[in-house]
Amino acid sequence: MADDKKRFPFAEYLRGSLILSALSHLSDFIYRSASESMAGKALTSYDRCSLKAGESLASGAAKKLNAGSVLRRLKRFCIKSFENSALITGAAKKMRGFLDCSMRYYGTFLLSFGIYASGVFGIKYYMNGSAPSADLGVAIIAALFSIPMIISTTALSEVILSSRILSGLLFGVIGVRRESIESVPAAQSRPGAAFIAGMTLGLSAYFASPGLILAGLAGIVLLYTILIIPESGVTLIIFSAPFMSALPRPSIITALMVLYVAGCYILKLIRGKRVFRFEILDGAVALFLLLTLLGGIFTVSVSVSLEYALIYGCYLISYFLVVNLIRTDKWVRRCVGAFISSSVIVSLVGIYQHLLGTASTRWQDLEMFTGMGGRVISTFENPNVLAEYLIMAIPFAVALLLTRRSWMSRGAMIVACGMGLACLVFTMSRGAWLGFIAGMLVFLLIYSRRTLVMLFLGSFAIPLLPFVLPADIVRRFTSIGNMADSSTAYRVNIWNGSIDMIRDFLWGGIGAGRGAFTIVYPSYTLAGIESAPHSHNLYLQITIELGIFGLIAFLAVVFLLALSTFTFLSKKPPVDAGHGSGEARLVCAAGFAGITAILVQGMTDYVWYNYRIFLIFWLVAGLTAAVKRSSEAVFTGDRYDNLLLHTENITAGQSEKSEQSGTENGGNRT
């Protein structure tokens, strides 16, 4: 301590100053008064008002009907039927067989595939004179890649276990259990079958590209992985959501992904290998889901609203997947890591657009902001949409930065935060900037009581910001509320017209979807704005589409999520909870900060205009609630991992005997 005083005398002086001491005591007094006030007690009362269907409604109904034994027998019948079904056992044996095959088997397949696919392109060139394409390169690369594999007799399972990259990907990222990969020495594989399979698929390259064929095979493996580990499907959705625009009909494909993961979860639930928990927050989300679906039926035009309602209904299901599947701290870390990783890629693309000078000027007032140089969109279609994504992702990177212990991890999070902030600035989205400031303010107030002190001291630096920040950013920020800006005037006029719409459709709304809005709005347009895609305000848009009850349901979700978050943060973790409890609390605070940021931006824009932002919003909301539930399960000793192991051991009882007999006859364990 003496050395610290000598090296940092100024810091020691600040700690002992009367002003900072008084501010620190004032901050403690404000926090203590807020927590002891009626409002503070109300915000931490979630557990007292939470409704657990499994413990109240469902169990109560079962007792009244005296159907507990019937339900248990039905569940055992379903479990036994699934475990002994030909589909389940056949798929498991086939996967064990693939893991036990030597690399020579896969090398033979790739060599055969590459040779015959190349031959197909030779035939096309001879018959049609078609020029070589990238597909021919894929076939040649497949053939070359097979050469080192053919000379290897090592089993695929052994290659995975010995490779740091593959084992890290499977065990650390995807969540595959190590014991499911471990195997006895490789069984005798049949290269002839692999050669025939490669030849068949290689010849099919006449109708489809080799890259698409190989991607289809990888997709089958991915679908099977999600089938046995539905949690990995949630992680995949979180990671891939920003990049789905590269596919045709991305909203439909993403909705199908959510439905597939939901189906895999239901199968696990029926087999007794997953659990279902329903709380009052989930009830509010379910009510909003129901109103959204009804908005697709009771509408001014079913043809334009039904598809919208169905897609958004599928996306709302993702919330329930997160809160019921992400039930351990490991899976929370995987989801957060997937979110941060995808945000880094998105930010990198945006920064590249800015440096390359390809940012679009479509969404800016060229007369008022002549030297701004455009606004980046990255993998999204609009700079505001990109900003909405970033303000939900950056708080998670900040949370991990504050909790990581190794310098390498901290350095990675500093890079993630820096790239995200830079890309957010380059979007030039004023509403997102305000939302991000509000979200980070909430996060910092949760993080430390000294935030109030820092805010007081930082307020003296505000007059210096115009001399430090770039002129374009200062001019853009100070233009907030300036009616001379065409964007601001445009929004205000749409808001006025939207309010007139609400007066006429307050109770039932006009129906779900942007199409319904574009049909009705021209009758309420003001100041020569003949058409508009939406109301440029989240709360106005919800009320217009679903009526006042839709808005109340959504506000109930936000209120209950706030109750859940603050109730969790107000609890003191056990003494032996360790470092992980602090990380969980900050991750929970980061999720709520991201939701706060998007809600603030929702005052100036309809943040759900983009399908993927709607999906990510509910994923973040579910992850915020899941952190609380997973952490409380750890604190109370209700370990979800142990529950899964217990149920898997019970349901696997019938298959253990057959596996043991198969092992004695030379089979392999998976």
Query: In Å, how far are 370, 421, 438, 473, 668 from 468, measured between CA atoms?
Result: 21, 16, 22, 10, 66
Between 456 and 68, name the one with better pLDDT: 456
DSSP codes, 167-198: HIIIIIII---GGGT--SSPPPP-HHHHHHHH
Percent of the chain with pLDDT over 90: 37
pLDDT above 80: residue 604: yes
**Is it the case that residue 588 has pLDDT exceeding 90?**
yes
Tell whether the model's pLDDT for residue 562 goes beyond 70: yes
pLDDT at 645: 40
- Top-confidence range, 118-132, 174-188, 332-346, 453-467: 332-346
Distance CA 23, CA 478 (A): 30
Q: Is the pLDDT of residue 57 over 70?
A: no
Q: Which of 604, 238, 236 is nearest to 388 (CA)?
A: 604
**Over the stretch 247-275, which tens digit does the pLDDT of each residue have?**
888 999 999 999 999 999 998 888 778 88
The rounded distance, in Å, linking the Cα atoms of 140 and 604 is: 53
- The confidence band for 650, taking pLDDT boundaries of 50, 70 and 90, is very low
- Rounded to an integer, what distance in angstroms lies between the CA atom of residue 320 and that of residue 325? 8
pLDDT at res. 660: 38
Q: Which two tokens stand for residue 456?
A: 């007081």
Residue that wins the pLDDT comparison between 303 and 475:
303
652-668 mean pLDDT = 38
Percentage of residues in the chain with pLDDT exceeding 70? 70
Question: Secondary structure of 4-55 in the HEC alphabet?
Answer: HHHHCHHHHHHHHCHHHHHHHHHHHHHHHHHHHCHHHHHHCCHHHHCCCCCC
User: Who wins on pLDDT, 665 or 81?
Assistant: 81
Task: State the Rg of the chain over Cα.
Answer: 28
CA distance 510 to 541: 10
3-state secondary structure 581-643: HHHHHHHHHHHHHHHHHHHHHCCCCCCCCCHHHHHHHHHHHHHHHHHHHHHHHHHCCCCHHHH
**What is the tens place of the pLDDT at every residue in 205-229?**
888 888 889 889 999 989 988 988 9
Two tokens, residue 276: 């279902």
Residue 375 bridge partners (DSSP): 360
Check residue 3 and give its pLDDT. Answer: 46
Distance separating alpha carbons of residues 588 and 399, to the nearest angstrom: 9
**pLDDT band for position 661 (50/70/90)?**
very low
pLDDT at residue 541 above 70? yes
What's the confidence (pLDDT) of residue 593? 96
DSSP 75-113: HHHHHHHHHT-HHHHHHHHHHHHHHHSBHHHHHHHHHHH
Band of residue 506 on the pLDDT scale cut at 50, 70, 90: very high
Could you tell me which of 306, 75, 52, 187 has the C-alpha nearest to residue 665? 187
Task: Tell me which of 10-19, 453-462, 648-657 is least confident.
Answer: 648-657
| Res. 86 pLDDT band, cuts 50 70 90 | low
pLDDT at position 505 is 94
Q: What is the pLDDT of residues 390-408, one digit of tens each?
A: 999 999 999 999 998 888 8
Report the C-alpha gap between 562 and 568 in whole angstroms: 10
Give the per-residue pLDDT at 491: 83
The residue with greater pLDDT, 122 or 362, is 122
Please tell me which of 153-167, 358-372, 458-472, 564-578 the model is most confident about, judged by mean pLDDT. 153-167
**How far, in whole angstroms, is CA 449 from its chain's centroid?**
30
pLDDT at 121: 82
Place of tokens 């939901």: 262
Spatial neighbors of 340 by CB under 8 A, at least 6 apart, are 393, 396, 397, 400, 413, 416
Amino acid making up residue 127: M
Residue 575 clears pLDDT 50, i.e. is over it: no
- Structure confidence at residue 4 (pLDDT): 44
| C-alpha distances in Å from residue 91, one per residue of 278, 371, 543 | 32, 61, 48
Q: Tell me, what's the pLDDT at 428?
A: 87
Query: Residue 66 phi/psi, 5° resolution?
Result: 55, 45
Quickly state the pLDDT bin for 2 (edges 50, 70, 90).
very low
- Beta strand segments in 502-564, E: none
**Model pLDDT, residue 654:** 41
587: closest CA among 341, 409, 335, 416?
335
Q: What is the pLDDT of residue 417?
A: 96
CA atoms within 13 A on the CB side of 110: 19
pLDDT in tens, 282-335: 999 999 999 999 999 999 999 889 999 999 999 999 999 999 999 999 999 999
What distance in Å separates the CA atoms of residue 669 and residue 111, rounded to the nearest whole number? 29
Taking 70 as the threshold, does the pLDDT of residue 184 lie above it? no
Q: Highest mean pLDDT range out of 95-104, 143-152, 461-470, 650-659? A: 143-152
pLDDT digits (tens, 9 = 90+) for 398-443: 999 999 888 888 999 999 999 999 999 999 888 899 999 999 999 9
| Bigger pLDDT: 113 vs 659 | 113
Structure tokens belonging to residue 212: 């698409």
Q: What's the distance, Cα to Cα, between the start and end of the chain in Å?
A: 56
3-state SS, 422-451, equals HHHHHHCCHHHHHHHHHHHHHHHHHHCCCH
Mean pLDDT in residue range 170-181:
81
598: which 2 tokens? 């998007």
Query: How many helices (DSSP H) and strands (DSSP E) are in the chain?
Result: 32, 0
- Supply the DSSP symbol for 360: B
Among 102-106, 109-113, 187-191, 272-276, whose mean pLDDT is lowest?
187-191
Nearest residue to 580 via CA among 364, 336, 363: 336
- Which two three-digit tokens encode residue 52? 């657990």
Helix, strand, coil percentages in the chain from 3-state DSSP, rounded to 5: 75, 0, 25
Average predicted confidence (pLDDT) for the chain: 80
The separation between CA 40 and the C-alpha centre of its own chain, rounded to angstroms, equals 30
Stretch 503-527: mean pLDDT, rounded?
89
| Average pLDDT rounded to a whole number, residues 109-134 | 79
CB neighbour class for 209 (10 Å; exposed up to 12, middle 13-18, buried from 19): middle
Q: Rounded to whole angstroms, how far apart are CA atoms 242 and 127?
A: 42
